[in-house]
Amino acid sequence: MSRQKRKEAKDLSIFLDSHVQSIKETFQILDKAAPSSLAKVDWSDASKYGAEISKLATVAGLLWCEETSDVKALKENIAAYFNVLQGFLLFCHSCTVGAGPTLHKSIHGASKQVVDSSISLFKETISFYETSDAKKKETIPQLSGAIWEACEALKKCPSSNCIAIGRAMTHLGVIIKDIIREMNELLSSDSSTHQGGGEMEEEEEDDDGAPSDASDDENDDLSLEEKAVTKSVISVASNTYEVLKEIIRFLTCLLRSRENREESVDSLEKLLSCCREISDWINDLGACAYPPQDASQMKDYVKNLFEGVGVVRKEIEIVAEGGSADGIYASLNRLESCLHEIRGLLSVDVADGIGKLSI
């Protein structure tokens, strides 16, 4: 590589670094939601910025791959691209006016993808300009494609607090379904073990007559009482899933009826936070269903779930503001019935355990 080429590459690198630093400083304003004193911008227009950035990324990829491009043209390309990127970040900041933590996190994450992929592209193009490495040249279209994907993802970013929280609730539903599947697998695997037990009885001794390792697994089988508790855990998880479905349905209706009103953001965020805690407690309850079951620990989780249901009721009353949330209340009643059932089963187990203690 000629000394002149090396000098030009260094000059371009310094020029790029100054623009990257400026972008990083601008991006820091997205660490917090914009104050209410700013004019709110509709996120639906973000795709327009995304389309412009995608075009510039394509142009940049083509320009930098041409070995005949001069330094002046390349600098102009960097300046034009990062000016648009700067405007995009300011636009994103204005979109966070009135945004709760969930919506703000979504906007922050979506914009960060665009910034990170943009910086990666231009750093790689300068590296290629300096070395003319064929492998580096091949990566440039891929990096341009990453920017296109990040800009396309802007269209999927939630445009309101209600939508953002609804999607977070949907994710919790996926987690609960996984817990239900695991609990069903626990019951089915235990049943399979017992069904195949007769065929293995004669094989449970080694050649020297000593018991085989298979006998060590006996403690891993569910007792009849533990099976009943596990089925009750499944019932609790299933009804929790139904509660989440009703909340999502309610949020959808809320979004349609109130259009762009965002007065209940705090209550919606508290509702989401509570549902996350409930999801965690369901997960812990499910973990305790594996033998040997800890009835005392499970009772603590059930107690937490009762309290969580109460918080959900309270926040729904605030958000509904006299509107109909009958579906949620009915699902919460069913969940409470399941919690009463498992609490009763666990109380019997604890009493039995105390009765079997020897003095």
Tokens representing 335 are: 């969940």
pLDDT at 44 over 60: yes
Render pLDDT for 73-83 as a digit per residue (tens, 0 to 9): 889 999 999 99
- Split at pLDDT 50, 70, 90, the class of 185 is very high
Give the residue, 264 or 86, on which the prediction is more confident.
86
Render pLDDT for 194-247 as a digit per residue (tens, 0 to 9): 555 544 444 444 445 544 454 444 456 888 999 999 999 999 999 999 999 999
Kindly list the domain boundaries of the chain, sorted by start residue: 3-158, 162-191+222-355
- Split at pLDDT 50, 70, 90, the class of 128 is confident
Render pLDDT for 81-105 as a digit per residue (tens, 0 to 9): 999 999 999 999 999 999 999 999 9
Rounded Cα distance, 299 and 305, in Å: 10
Q: Which CATH architecture has domain 3-158?
A: Up-down Bundle (1.20)
pLDDT at residue 260, rounded to an integer: 44
Q: Which long-range contacts (CB under 8 A, 24 or more apart) does 105-111 make?
A: 105/164, 106/157, 106/158, 106/164, 107/30, 107/43, 107/157, 108/30, 108/31, 110/46, 110/150, 110/153, 110/154, 110/157, 111/27, 111/30
Contacts of 241 (CB under 8 A, 6+ apart): 173, 176, 177, 180
Tokens representing 333 are: 């009643």
CATH H superfamily, domain 162-191+222-355: I/LWEQ domain (1.20.1410.10)
